[in-house]
């Protein structure tokens, strides 16, 4: 391990230990432009966020531990659903469900229903199949070695490590006591040092913005960003508050939005710690349970596409 990176890793471990040991709010940031090593976390609890952006409310749920509001609006004639989320205990209440690892995929609704306490859920990671065989160049082996699994050099579900590719940096999201954290090219050892219970990932350039900095590649250099598609976007405001944007792409003959247009939307209306592009296209799905007695989890943005995992917000 290069000495420079070892020092960065040591700094992270020291900060992490201090955060665990103290009762006060702990915030640490470790960053290096050459290695892409970046993590920023905080343990403070935040109340439900207030936003100036507000549109027609489609659904609302409120309990002592979880609040969500879904708002419907259009961007350029394309229907979008923005979900504002507050969760009291992210580490406990944000869950992940995998399809049978390496064996098969399943629909987002079927996966989300596997956790009875699920109130809100979305499709999440990109995945590798015979139909979608692309893997990063630095993954060892062949595409077929990864069929029916998610992208990500580090894959964790409920604390179990399903994949840990040595020497392949992690690009994606990880859940720990700090909530959902974004990593951009971080060594897996540093991610594991934060004791994550879940991870989600897509392609390397899917971090769209961090702390007001535009991270998307220049226009015209990445097809996924410049093409119009249905989208699933997750953004973090702070440890307890998150935003999800689902772009349906089913209106006026439109096929969705570009990531550049979506990035502009978030820059114009919200202050976020980060914005991340989850899997979209035919996988785009939003599932909610209304606040009614014996209500079941149902789709607000339906998808019959089989996927590898979902993010669930639970009671």
Tell me: the pLDDT tens digits for 252-308? Answer: 456 899 999 999 999 999 999 999 999 999 999 999 999 988 899 999 999 999 999
User: Which residue from 208, 226, 206 is spatially nearest to 266, judged by alpha carbons?
Assistant: 208
Question: What CA–CA distance (Å, rounded) separates 279 from 94?
Answer: 18
For residue 3, is it within any domain? no
pLDDT recorded at residue 58: 96
Residue 98 placed within a domain: yes
Q: In this structure, is residue 244 part of a structural domain?
A: yes
pLDDT of residue 184: 96
Give domain status of residue 36, yes or no. no
Output the pLDDT for position 292: 84
* pLDDT beneath 70: ranges in the chain: 1-43, 250-254
Distances (CA, A) of 173 to 25, 92, 170, 221, 234: 22, 16, 9, 24, 10
Tell whether 115 is covered by a domain: yes
The whole-number pLDDT of residue 254 equals 60
Q: Is residue 7 part of a domain?
A: no
pLDDT of residue 293: 80
Neighbours of 259 (CB within 10 A): 25
Number of domains in the chain: 1
pTM of the model: 0.88
CA–CA distance, 65 with 58 (Å, rounded to integer):
21
Looking at the domain assignment, is residue 30 inside a domain?
A: no
Within a domain: residue 248?
yes
CA distance linking residue 293 with residue 296, whole number of Å: 9
Domain that holds residue 212: 56-152+200-314
């Amino acid at each position: 391990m290069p000495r420079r990176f070892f020092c960065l890793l040591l700094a992270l471990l020291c900060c992490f230990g201090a955060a665990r040991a103290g009762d006060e709010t702990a915030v640490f940031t470790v960053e290096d432009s050459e290695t892409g090593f970046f993590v920023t976390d905080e343990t403070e609890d935040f109340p439900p966020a207030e936003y100036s952006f507000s549109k027609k409310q489609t659904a609302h749920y409120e309990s002592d531990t979880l609040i969500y509001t879904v708002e419907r609006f259009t961007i350029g004639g394309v229907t979008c659903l923005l979900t504002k989320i507050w969760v009291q205990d992210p580490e406990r209440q944000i869950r992940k469900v995998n399809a049978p690892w390496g064996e098969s995929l399943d629909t987002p609704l079927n996966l989300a229903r596997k956790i009875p306490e699920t109130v809100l859920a979305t499709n999440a990671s990109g995945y590798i199949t015979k139909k979608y065989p692309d893997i990063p160049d630095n993954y060892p082996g062949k595409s077929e070695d990864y069929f029916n699994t998610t992208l990500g050099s580090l894959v964790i579900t409920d604390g179990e490590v399903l994949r840990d590719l040595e020497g392949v940096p992690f690009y994606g999201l990880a859940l720990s006591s700090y909530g959902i954290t974004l990593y951009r090219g971080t060594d897996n050892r540093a991610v594991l040092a934060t004791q994550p219970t879940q991870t989600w990932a897509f392609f390397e350039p899917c971090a769209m913005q961090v702390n007001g900095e535009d991270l998307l590649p220049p226009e015209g250099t990445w097809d996924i960003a410049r093409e119009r598609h249905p989208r699933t976007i997750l953004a973090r405001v702070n440890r307890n508050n998150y935003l999800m944007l689902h772009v349906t792409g089913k209106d006026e003959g439109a096929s969705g939005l570009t990531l550049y247009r979506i990035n502009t939307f978030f820059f114009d209306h919200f202050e976020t710690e980060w914005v991340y592009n989850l899997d979209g296209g035919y996988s785009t799905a939003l599932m909610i349970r209304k606040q009614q007695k014996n209500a079941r989890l149902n789709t607000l943005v339906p998808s019959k596409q089989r996927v590898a995992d979902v993010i669930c917000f639970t009671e």
